[in-house]
Amino acid sequence: MIDNIKKVVHAAAGSNQKIAMFHLQVLKHAKELEDLNAKAFCKEIGVPQTYATEFTKMIGLAKLLAEHGVRLS
């Protein structure tokens, strides 16, 4: 899963959608990623450490969406 996230995030850079794809992938896989350290995850997929804040936001958003009955497939 992490290798796939890395691949699609970096592929999206060519269309200026890297951060949007990062958001989408973290939301999509939030349940599996929620226990990971944000900075370590960013390092592992090769994005700037500043993305760690975005990672944390997307994990929080996924939890909020679930609490309000919004399901991500």
Reported as a single tens digit per residue, the pLDDT across 34-48 is 999 999 999 999 999
For 55-64, what is each residue's pLDDT tens digit? 999 999 999 9
* pLDDT tens per residue across span 1-12: 999 999 999 999
Angle made by CA atoms 70, 60, 27, in degrees to the nearest 5: 60
Confirm if 55 and 41 have CB atoms less than 8 A apart.
Answer: yes
pLDDT above 80: residue 73 = no
Domain residue limits, the chain: 2-67
Instruction: Look up the pTM and report it.
Output: 0.93
